[in-house]
Amino acid sequence: MTAVGGRPAPSPTAASSFDWVAVLSFPGPERDLALRDLHVLLVRAARRQVHRMGPASGTWGEAEVDELANQAADEALVALLGKLHTFERRSRFTTWAYKFAVLHAANAVRAVAWRGREIHLEGLELVADPAPQPGHYAEAHDLVAVVRRLLVTVLTPHQRRVVVALVVDDVPIDVLADRLGTNRNALYKTLHDARARIRCGLRAEGLLDEARGADS
């Protein structure tokens, strides 16, 4: 690299003080080199996560691991650049970047695990537990019972399907979006609205502090 803002810039792989944000924020050969080096770091982090979450049978070959790692690194790089302005410099930039790679690698592995698996979306209903009798259940069990009831009584069928699939069954959001013929942003919106309805229900039951509910 030659310069950043008129000043000499070290190679990103050679100096921990390298200002990734400054270089990645402006087009040019320095940014291209930084992107190349960053992608290498992301692939390395993604590959470790893929190996960590790989099938217990160990049937994945290096070609599939490499494909998943590169796919995750590509997606992580796009996501990272979109959030570059949020980096608060509380840790090393590479440490912050690794989190993107790990997240997207985990999503890729879960998506593979759900290939061909059935997701029960039609006619999905949750049966609420009967109202707990006073003194028969601990406070935690009472809360769980209320939440189960709210899932049935305050959510729409579509909201309930999304919440159960994403939160209970741990279906990857990209997999669910594909099965429902929608996109992840629409599912995030549905999940957000469902959480808001459940919070309102909890407040009505006196189980959620008003101030805390407004902040969450």
E strand or H helix at 23: helix 20-24
**Does a structural domain hold residue 125?**
no
* pLDDT of 69 over the 70 cut: yes
pLDDT above 70 covers what percent of the chain?
72
Is residue 39 located within the same domain as residue 90? yes
Q: Is residue 129 part of a domain?
A: no
- List, in order, residues 6 or more apart from 70 with CB less than 8 Å away: 43, 46
| 159: nearest Cα among 180, 144, 174 | 180
CATH number for the domain spanning 149: value is 1.10.10
Which backbone phi and psi does 132 adopt, to 5 degrees? -65, 140
- The range of the structural domain enclosing residue 151 comes to 139-215
Question: Is 123 within the bounds of a domain?
Answer: no
**For residue 121, is it within any domain?**
no
| pLDDT exceeds 70 at position 3 | no
Q: Report if residue 186 sits inside a domain.
A: yes
User: Are 18 and 104 part of one and the same domain?
Assistant: yes
109 domain-assigned: yes
- Whether the Cβ atoms of residue 39 and residue 58 lie closer than 8 Å to each other: no
Residue 56 forms part of a structural domain? yes
What are 88-128's pLDDT values in tens digits?
888 899 999 999 999 999 888 888 877 666 666 554 444 44
Q: Which H or E run includes 158?
A: helix 157-163
The more confident residue out of 79 and 16 is 79
- Is the same domain home to 98 and 46? yes
35 and 97 housed in the same domain: yes
Domain boundary among 113, 147, 174: 113
Q: Tokens for 89, please give them.
A: 């410099």
**What pLDDT was estimated at residue 18?**
79
pLDDT digits (tens, 9 = 90+) for 150-159: 888 899 989 9
Q: Indicate whether 154 and 109 sit together in one domain.
A: no
Alpha-carbon gap, residue 77 to 16, rounded angstroms: 19
Q: Which range is least confidently modeled, 21-25, 57-61, 67-71?
A: 57-61
Question: Cα separation of 79 and 104, whole Å?
Answer: 9
Number of domains in the chain: 2
